[in-house]
Structure 1
């Protein structure tokens, strides 16, 4: 167990950040799945900017690597264009 006040606070803040990151990451993954399952190009084009924004926010906060974000955005753009 931690012996310092600052270490106890760090444990609490790490847990809250972990839960927040987990929620945001899962929400983004669900949005990506939803976008990939769409067959209508019009719907996909309206959803695409929101999903890209979510991916960029995850990369900015270091929840995912920036290269992974770029790969995801590229693949989603190709998918939307192919519809």
Structure 2
């Protein structure tokens, strides 16, 4: 699962170097559109000290989100 979260992070937000610290929580809740069962896992990640706080990511590939520009930013956890 850790490999998947790092792959998705890179695909959805750009080529970041991050490490999984730990899983924070797992939630079992129906999908909001389909009502089908869904399990979501949440992870605490650590990025290098020189990682920018904000950036734009241009989605590549052939998925539904191809061509979109996502504005990304990190916020400190309380």
Normalising by structure 1, report the TM-score: 0.24
- Bigger RCO (CA 8 Å, 6+ sep): 1
Greater share of residues in helix: 1
Greater share of residues in strand: 2
Larger radius of gyration: 1
